[in-house]
Amino acid sequence: MTVEVSAYCSCPLCCGKSDGITKSGKHAQANHTIAVDPRVIPLGSAVYLEGLGTFIAEDVGGTIKGNKIDLFMNEHRQAIFFGVKRLKAHLLREMI
């Protein structure tokens, strides 16, 4: 599937909080955690984003609806600099 990919960090501007705890109860990690719409990609799923690598769906977001994915990054300026990209995503496995 083709998805719109953006980025976020654990700051109040991106999340409305700053504890870094995801919807799945884990600490968000750069190069690992993505936020998804769980109706499209179930939480816990491994997702390969072409050109970026494999990530785990551990979080959700208020604006992440449909074929949108938000990558977790350590710093706000990294997230802003990433911008928005359209990429191919491959669901590698669904976790229950």
| Cβ-based neighbours of 39, under 8 Å, separated by 6 or more | none
Of 25, 30, 81, residue with least CA distance to 53: 30
Instruction: Give the model's confidence band at 95: pLDDT under 50 very low, under 70 low, under 90 confident, else very high.
Output: low
Domain that holds residue 33: 2-93
- Read off the pLDDT of each residue in 23-52 and give the average, rounded to a whole number: 95
Q: What CATH number does residue 17 fall under? A: 2.40.40.10
In angstroms, rounded to a whole number, what is the distance separating the alpha carbons of residues 31 and 2?
Answer: 20
Q: Which residue type does 63 have?
A: T
Of all residues in the chain, what percent carry a pLDDT higher than 90? Answer: 79
- Domains of the chain: total: 1
Give the global pTM: 0.91
**pLDDT at residue 20 in the model:** 85
